[in-house]
Amino acid sequence: MSDDVHEVYAVRYGHHERRSSENFIGGDPHDVPQPLDFFVWAIRGPHGTFVVDTGFDEAMARKRQRSILNPVGAGLKALGIEPDSVEDVIVSHLHYDHTGNYDLFPRARYHLQDFEMAYATGRHMCHAYPRLPFELDDVIAMVRKVFAGRVSFHDGASEVAPGISVHRIGGHSKGLQCVRVKTRRGFVVLASDSTHLYAHIEQGRVFPIVYSAGARRRRSGLPGRPHVGMTTRVRQLGEEANTFSPDRVAAVPLALFTLPPNPGFPGSAIMNWSTSKTSDVDRGGGSAASILRAAGVG
C-alpha cells in the first residue's frame, strides 16, 4: 500500500423514523417515509486511524427522540479500533449528531474548521433557530479541548495527512467540512451533512437545517473555481476525483444507506467503501453482504 492510500469504513450507529416532508425546505409532495440513519466513519492507512465524527450517545438519543442501533464505541471496536488509542478525530461540524461522545477519544487531536467554532460560540447562538442542532455541553467540551491544546484548526481546504484532506463547505452549518480520502479505488468524498440524501445533491434541494442555502464563499480551496455553492462543491470534489479515474468516486451522504441487518452485529452495519464497487455502495443497494464481508464483520 502506498503512502497515501487508505481504507474507509462507515459505521451506522443511529436511526430516525421520519417523513420525506421533513427532509426538504418546502416539504415534499410525496410525503412518504424517508428515515435517516446516522454514521461515523473510520479511515485506516499508513498514517494511522482517523475517525470522522463522533455521533451521539444513548442519553442524547432519548433527548432528541432518535434511536441508537449500536453505540459508536462498540461499532469502532468491531473494526478492531480501540477508541482509547485513536489519535485523530475529524469533526465535520458541531451539531449534536456529529460531536457527542466527547470523552470517547481521550488521546485524540480534533480537526475542526475555524468558522465552525466561531459560529457555535458566537452571536448566532443567541437565537433559537440556528442554535437548535447544537448542544451546549458538546460545544463546551470542544472549547475545553481547545484550552487543552487538542484541536487543530483548519481554514478552508487543508491536508490532514497524505491522501486525506478536509474541505470547508458551509451551507448547512457555517463551518461544515467534508473529507476526501484517497483509496485504492480512487477518492472517496465523505460528504457528511453537506448532502444528507442524493436528492439534495442531485436536485439542488435543501435540508431544513441550514445556515445559508446559497453558501457561497470566496475560497473553495482549488484554483480557478472561486465561487461555488454547498452541494456544488461536494459534487465538484467528486468530479475532480472522477478525473483521477472514472467509476472511482463515491460522494457518500451521511445518512443514505439502509442495509440489511448484519447477523454478527445486530442492528448495525459497517461498510468498507475502499474495497467496494461504486455501484454497490452509491445507492446502498445490491451487495451489502459482500461489503460487510469485505469489512471483515459479515
The residues binding Zn ion (CB under 5 A) are 95, 97, 193
User: Burial of 247 by CB count in 10 Å (0-12 exposed, 13-18 middle, 19+ buried)?
Assistant: exposed
Looking at beta carbons only, is 36 or 297 nearer to Zn ion? 36
Of 194 and 262, the one with the shorter C-beta distance to Zn ion is 194
Query: Least distance in Å: CB of 64 to Zn ion?
Result: 11
Pick between residue 95 and residue 217 the one whose CB is nearest to Zn ion. 95
Q: In this complex, which beta carbon is closest to Zn ion, that of residue 16 or of residue 277?
A: 16
Q: What distance in Å separates the CA atoms of residue 233 and residue 215, rounded to the nearest whole number?
A: 10
Among 169, 166, 165, 116, which Cα is nearest to 139's?
116
Burial of 128 (0-12, 13-18, 19+ CB in 10 A): exposed
* Residue number with CB closer to Zn ion (9 or 96): 96
Question: What is d(CA 140, CA 121) in angstroms, rounded to the nearest whole number?
Answer: 9
CB of 40 to Zn ion, least distance (A): 11
Which CB sits closer to Zn ion, 37 or 97? 97
Give Rg (Cα) of the chain: 18
Residue 125 beta carbon to Zn ion: minimum distance, rounded to whole angstroms: 15
In angstroms, rounded to a whole number, what is the distance separating the alpha carbons of residues 269 and 298? 9
Between 254 and 292, name the residue whose CB sits nearer to Zn ion. Answer: 254
User: How far apart are alpha carbons 273 and 20 in whole angstroms?
Assistant: 26
**Residue with the shortest CB distance to Zn ion:** 95
C-alpha cell at 210: 441550514
What distance in Å separates the CA atoms of residue 215 and residue 67, rounded to the nearest whole number?
31
Rounded to whole angstroms, the Cα distance separating 87 from 89 reads 7
- Hunting for cell 434541494 — which residue is that? 205
Nearer to Zn ion, 171 or 238 (CB): 171
* Contact residues for 146 (Cβ-Cβ < 8 A; gap 6+): 117
Cβ 171 to Zn ion shortest distance, Å: 10
Tell me the closest approach of the beta carbon of residue 133 to Zn ion, in angstroms: 5
**Long-range contact pairs involving 282-286 (C-beta distance under 8 Å, separation at least 24):** 282/250, 283/198, 284/256, 284/257, 284/258, 284/259
Find the shortest distance in angstroms from Cβ 266 to Zn ion. Answer: 24
Least distance in Å: CB of 254 to Zn ion?
Answer: 6
